[in-house]
């Protein structure tokens, strides 16, 4: 795909979160809208599309435009928006770059309620959510914008499933897929390294950055697999303890590079103490270290399973995995009081019986089997698929 063709397709495509934002800010007194997600997935492009559709006045500001934005910078953007009139839409991008931003926003929001419609964007979950919980409780709605789904990639770039399971998740990499070395460099340098250096190491305590990067490479080799902290620690070229590994995984989760699913249990403390099941943010993060081959059914099975898992994570609700000795269930999804027991079948060899075992132990659950044949229907509208099957 040529760069021009890619750019035209990308700019024409509007992700679903844009419509959600539009609906939320239409009210007379909307809450602060917080858009949170990884780098390079179209958050900024989406809000600029929203600005083009917005019938009122708007002001857009990006915290990366200054070397060291501070509290007064937020106040300056607020005043610029106010000067345009009541009801102006103010959008501040990468707001987590501003120290103590939430305290400033809280004061401005409380002192002049309903004069500004405010959207803030960020790419660091740990930094942004700390500010939200400390200062802005009850004043905001959170909208997570994660890596692209298969449905979005198909609609925008005419992806098929195999192509998505090899390269999917980051739209900016699409023009480079015919040149693997160039594609690899883009994913590694523009996405992974930027997230590690700017969203994690720059603002969090990481004693050994080289070891931290090595841990991520190891985690990328365990897609859709449960990994014990002790096993991961044993592969790192350094002495330490399981708390170090837990800390590393928490930081990677905060930058949206992966998710560590907990084991499902009626007892919350057992879930928290279990070894996590690793879901990388999208297939591209696995292909970066292990180029998929069409004949590798085991890897493609893992990729399909984790794609289902990531789609579930993007929904409101809670996602777990389940295991009882040799019996395993891929996902447990809790939504509106319902429990969905989900097994992903891709043709690869894996132990069976987990679905029936789980449902016998938790008879209130609903059995769901997702295959290559019905995956596209599931991915297009997961909640409807689960409720109607």
| Cα 324 from Cα 38, distance rounded (Å) | 33
Q: Looking at residue 57, what is its pLDDT? A: 95
Question: What are the beta bridge partners of residue 342?
Answer: 331, 368
Shared domain for 187 and 94, answered yes or no, is no
| Cα 165 from Cα 177, distance rounded (Å) | 13
| Cα 211 from Cα 230, distance rounded (Å) | 15
Residue 295 neighbours by CB under 8 Å, 6+ apart: none
Residue 5 neighbours by CB under 8 Å, 6+ apart: none
Q: Looking at residue 308, what is its pLDDT? A: 98
Shared domain for 36 and 156, answered yes or no, is no
Shared domain for 168 and 125, answered yes or no, is no
Shared domain for 108 and 188, answered yes or no, is no
Out of 144, 173, 200, pick the residue that ends a domain.
144
CATH of the domain at 24: 3.40.50.300
pLDDT digit of tens for each residue in the chain (389 aa)?
777 777 678 888 999 999 999 999 987 778 999 999 999 999 999 999 999 989 899 999 998 777 777 889 999 999 999 999 988 999 999 888 888 888 999 999 999 888 899 999 988 776 677 767 777 888 999 999 999 999 999 999 999 999 999 999 999 999 999 999 999 999 999 999 999 998 888 777 888 888 899 999 999 988 899 988 888 888 886 666 788 888 899 999 999 999 999 999 876 555 556 789 999 999 999 999 887 676 688 888 999 999 999 999 999 999 999 998 889 999 999 999 999 999 999 866 666 689 999 999 999 999 999 999 999 999 999 999 999 98
pTM for the whole structure? 0.90
Supply the DSSP string of 84-136, one letter for each residue.
T-TTEEEEEETGGGSTTHHHHHHHHHHHSTTSEEEEEEES-HHHHHHHHHHH-
Q: b/e string for 57-68 if b means 16 or more Cβ within 10 A?
A: ebbbbbbeeeee
Shared domain for 170 and 107, answered yes or no, is no
3-state class of 106 per DSSP? helix
Which pairing describes strands 258-261 and 116-122: parallel, antiparallel, or unpaired?
unpaired
Shared domain for 20 and 112, answered yes or no, is yes
Shared domain for 335 and 220, answered yes or no, is yes
Q: Sign (positive/negative) of CA torsion 255, 154, 310, 301?
A: negative
Shared domain for 273 and 327, answered yes or no, is yes
Chain CA centroid to CA 368, Å: 24
- How many structural domains is the chain composed of? 2
Shared domain for 85 and 154, answered yes or no, is no
Which pair of structure tokens corresponds to residue 155?
């609609």
Which pair of structure tokens corresponds to residue 121?
């964007």
| Cα 231 from Cα 140, distance rounded (Å) | 40
| Cα 250 from Cα 205, distance rounded (Å) | 12
Range of the domain at 271: 150-388
Contact of 152 with 14, CB cutoff 8 Å:
no
Q: Which helix (H) or strand (E) holds 328?
A: strand 327-335
Q: Could you give phi then psi for residue 282, rounded to 5 degrees?
A: -165, 165
Out of 100, 126, 144, pick the residue that ends a domain.
144
Shared domain for 268 and 335, answered yes or no, is yes
Which pair of structure tokens corresponds to residue 300?
């493609």
| Cα 5 from Cα 341, distance rounded (Å) | 41
Which pairing describes strands 116-122 and 225-226: parallel, antiparallel, or unpaired?
unpaired
Out of 109, 144, 179, pick the residue that ends a domain.
144
Residue 35 neighbours by CB under 8 Å, 6+ apart: 17, 21, 43, 46, 47, 119, 120, 121, 122, 143, 145
Residue 213 neighbours by CB under 8 Å, 6+ apart: 196
Contact of 353 with 359, CB cutoff 8 Å:
no
- Distance set, CA 154 to CA 121, 139, 146, 316, 344 (Å): 26, 36, 16, 23, 21
Shared domain for 8 and 90, answered yes or no, is yes
Shared domain for 158 and 293, answered yes or no, is yes
Q: Looking at residue 351, what is its pLDDT? A: 64
């Amino acid at each position: 795909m040529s760069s021009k063709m890619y750019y035209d397709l990308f700019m024409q495509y509007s992700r679903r979160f844009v419509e959600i934002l539009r609906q939320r800010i239409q009210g007379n007194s909307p809450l602060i809208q917080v858009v949170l997600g990884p780098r390079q997935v179209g958050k900024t492009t989406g809000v600029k599309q929203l600005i083009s559709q917005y019938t009122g006045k708007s002001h857009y500001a990006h915290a990366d435009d200054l070397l060291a934005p501070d509290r007064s910078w937020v106040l300056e953007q607020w005043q610029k928006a106010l000067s345009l009139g009541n009801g102006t839409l103010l959008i501040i991008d990468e707001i987590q770059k501003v120290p103590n931003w939430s305290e400033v926003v809280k004061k401005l929001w409380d002192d002049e309620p309903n004069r500004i419609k405010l959207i803030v964007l960020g790419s660091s979950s740990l930094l942004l959510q700390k500010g939200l919980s400390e200062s802005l409780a009850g004043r905001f709605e959170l909208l997570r914008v994660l890596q692209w789904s298969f449905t979005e990639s198909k609609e925008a770039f005419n992806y098929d499933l195999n192509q998505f399971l090899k390269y999917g998740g980051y739209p900016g990499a699409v023009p480079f897929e015919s040149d693997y070395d160039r594609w690899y460099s883009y994913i590694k340098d523009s996405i992974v390294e930027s997230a590690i250096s700017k969203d994690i190491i720059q603002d969090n305590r990481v004693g050994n950055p080289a070891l931290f990067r090595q841990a991520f490479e190891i985690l990328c080799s365990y897609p859709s697999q449960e990994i014990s902290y002790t096993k991961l620690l044993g592969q790192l070229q350094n002495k330490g303890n399981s708390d170090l590994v837990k800390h590393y995984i928490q930081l990677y989760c905060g930058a949206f590079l992966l998710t560590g699913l907990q084991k499902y249990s009626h007892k919350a403390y057992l879930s928290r103490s279990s070894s996590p099941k690793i879901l990388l943010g999208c297939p591209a993060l696995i292909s970066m270290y292990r180029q998929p081959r069409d004949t590798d059914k085991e890897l493609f099975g893992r990729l399909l399973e984790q794609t289902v898992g990531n789609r579930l994570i993007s929904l409101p609700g809670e996602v777990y995995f389940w295991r009882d000795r040799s019996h395993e269930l891929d996902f447990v999804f809790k939504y509106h009081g319902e429990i969905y027991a989900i097994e992903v079948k891709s043709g690869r060899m894996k132990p069976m019986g987990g679905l029936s075992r789980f449902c016998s132990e938790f008879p209130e659950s609903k059995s769901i089997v997702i295959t290559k044949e019905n995956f596209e229907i599931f991915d297009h509208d997961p909640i409807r698929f689960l409720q109607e099957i």
